[in-house]
A and B are shown apart, each in its own frame.
Chain A
């Protein structure tokens, strides 16, 4: 049996001893090649949980393993280089070209120049940005969707063991978001990537994730496949969250069966 890509065991983060912890005794695991979505409102602890995986935030207690290695026993800088990270708002360095942005982690790892260049071109091609056109441009010269693709390419560049994504589609218009979500899903399956994605959007989670972890006030409320969440929500909060995509789909379904004369009654 394969070791899980990421494993959290009783992980707690308390910023202030006087207040309730931001993350409380969370345990979960992400299999290799699996996409796990961390879903919850603001203050739910989902982003804190994500950032503890590559030690941008240090856990207060509990154990975190990446490909079986306990993260607290390795140099956090080397840990981060081995895990891809895609940011909310993309996080490309504005003073560096697209190519240099993608090459950042391989460069830090000391890859040879030829290997880096080949890897950059390979990844830009993969995310549908022809390298000869885009490699030497600055991020400011790209559209929002193109920047997000560069962000993916950068997260993938150093052949990471896992990828963490923090609201990666948050700032995109709906059409671009849909296109990129589809591309991401295809890419993830093709490369068999292990991914943890943080989102507040349950619809996005249902579309992208193999399993969904619902967090609320620092506590993991339910962990299951979209089907399990839809059919057997563990509590009212989960039921309420999963209700949104269900209502959307029901509504769209109803539109399919309504003739045009009935359209006026809806509003």
Chain B
């Protein structure tokens, strides 16, 4: 087995466990809610209309949006709870609908027979109607199972680990083996659950009770395997996304620090957004936590505002964000200010408004950057964006269509007089290649992107500070900021990395297939350029 594949298998127990712990209880609770709801709908026309309308409407909400909405509904709580509730909501429609269809489909003669032999309404339902509707209801449960197992992959961005972690990180790393691995694992789990339920159905019909019990035991085992980590974590550690606000700083008393490794037995939850650099930084932080004796827990591929809200709510302990992003999306400031001033302003406002502590800049900026071929830069003497001004009329610039709509681009065009430049919209994946091939002359990239080096491109300076500064800053949640051993463990990361080093680390992952973990180790050792 190749080392990369081996790495994927090593993560499998954890991610499969996470996936099971979401999907199986969601389906189980879904059945407990939906079957009675379906019965109620059949027995009461007044209930049926509104219930069907609401659950059909909810079903049309895109799954990723529903997950994000659940985070908001739960006041910013991330992790297991919002993901579980969203999946539960998704399981309801097919089961309720099939319960209704199944009960409606029971032959009226059977219902009359049940009355005529002297059954009371509840007995008619339990002894005749539900058993006769059972195959249809079970078909609904199977549909729900396949949906929920598939949609559970989307719980990764709200911070609940699942097989989706393979898919999301694979997409970010452009590692198709990883994406495929996640897909195959999810499909296999879907099929296994679906077939177990199907086996119960057919064996019931053939009245092979031994097989029925065996399949039920299989499902129960999966339910237990799914639930065990939740039960275990909530009793053993008192958090894991389930309980917030518990103090994990008790061992941070001076006496304890002397005797124990400073972070002994503490889980530290590291948040991350969904791109390569964030994956590397997660590993970098994880290594520091581990070196101090703590246990890192990675919550990757989270949405930008979700991870920030989670930090504010103490459901994530630490993550790296960028000053320009915080300035506009969190602090809602329309106009950028200078780099150092923004660092100070962001740190002060985050502490005042949220109690979040910005431990410091990591030393590099991941800002928008205009890049050109390095050869062109030297032959035509291009050093800053201002050098493009006289050539603007003949130049083409490639960039994300979204970038061309941003205020930053407006500022760049007006400050450097680039209004004559021809804009070519393209996906950010292709723009570096497009510059290297000469399809466009300039690309609007990101300053730490590894492809700048890989394609032998050069970044033009921005002396007018037209682009807002995007310093990478290490943020700690209000509770984590009081965890002195944690702060001590992370402080060495501050001001340690140059933009060139970060870019080289990103490149080694994006282009050379290095794992984020290895890249983080190289970055820490001060030798990120692996060549």
Contact = CB atoms under 8 A, between A and B. Distances in A.
Interface in B104-125: 109-110, 112-120, 123
A44 interface: no
Contact of B109 (A78, A80, A91): A91
B132 interface: yes
B131 interface: yes
B128 interface: yes
A80 B116 CA distance: 6
A154 interface: yes
Contact of A108 (B109, B110, B118): B118
Given A94-B132, A95-B131, A80 B115 contact: yes
B202 to A, nearest CB: 14
Given A93-B128, A95-B132, A80 B113 contact: no
Given A95-B131, A108-B123, A87 B109 contact: yes
A215 B131 CA distance: 38
A12 B120 CA distance: 26
Contacts of B112: 56, 87, 91
Given A89-B109, A91-B110, A94-B132, A77 B116 contact: no
Interface string B116-150: 11111001000110011000000000000000000
A105 B118 contact: yes
Contacts of B118: 77-78, 80-81, 105, 108-109, 158
B116 to A, nearest CB: 4
Contacts of A105: 117-118
B132 A108 contact: no
A104 interface: yes
A93 B116 contact: no
Interface string A102-126: 0011001100000000000000000
B189 to A, nearest CB: 31
Contacts of A104: 117, 119
Contacts of A85: 116-117
Given A77-B120, A108-B123, A93 B110 contact: yes
Contacts of B113: 87, 91-93
A49 interface: no
Nearest to A164: B116
A103 B120 CA distance: 16
A212 B409 CA distance: 98
Nearest to A166: B116
Interface in B49-99: none
A54 interface: yes
Contacts of A78: 118
A80 B120 contact: no
A154 B120 CA distance: 18
Contacts of B123: 108
A16 to B, nearest CB: 20
A85 B117 CA distance: 7
Contacts of A77: 118-120
Contacts of B110: 91, 93-94
A94 B110 CA distance: 9
B116 A54 contact: yes
Nearest to B118: A81
A59 to B, nearest CB: 16
B115 A154 contact: no
A89 B109 CA distance: 9
B121 to A, nearest CB: 9
Most buried by A among B116, B131, B132: B116
Nearest to A55: B115
Contacts of A154: 117
B128 A87 contact: no
Contact of B117 (A80, A88, A94): A80
Contacts of A109: 118
A201 B499 CA distance: 98
Interface string A144-158: 000000000010001
Given A93-B110, A93-B128, A56 B119 contact: no
B109 A56 contact: no
B180 to A, nearest CB: 44
Contacts of A81: 117-118
A95 B127 CA distance: 9
A230 B348 CA distance: 109
Contacts of B115: 56, 80
Contacts of A108: 117-119, 123
Contacts of B132: 93-95
Interface string B352-368: 00000000000000000
Interface string B283-322: 0000000000000000000000000000000000000000
Contacts of B131: 95
A105 B115 CA distance: 11
A85 B112 CA distance: 11
Most buried by A among B114, B118, B127, B128: B118
A81 B114 CA distance: 11
Interface string A51-79: 00010100000000000000000000110
Contacts of A158: 118
A251 B418 CA distance: 111
Nearest to A108: B118
B252 to A, nearest CB: 63
Nearest to B116: A85
A154 to B, nearest CB: 7
A164 to B, nearest CB: 8
Contacts of A93: 110, 113-114, 127-128, 132
Contacts of B114: 93
Interface in A146-189: 154, 158
Interface of B: 109-110, 112-120, 123, 127-128, 131-132
Given A56-B116, A80-B115, 4 more contacts: A81-B117, A93-B127, A95-B131, A95-B132
What 10 A-B pairs come out closest when comparing CB atoms?
A: A81-B118, A91-B113, A80-B118, A85-B116, A95-B131, A104-B117, A105-B117, A108-B118, A77-B120, A105-B118
20 contacts: A54-B116, A56-B112, A56-B115, A56-B116, A77-B118, A80-B115, A80-B118, A81-B117, A85-B117, A91-B109, A91-B112, A91-B113, A92-B113, A93-B127, A94-B110, A95-B131, A95-B132, A108-B117, A108-B119, A158-B118
Interface of A: 54, 56, 77-78, 80-81, 85, 87-89, 91-95, 104-105, 108-109, 154, 158
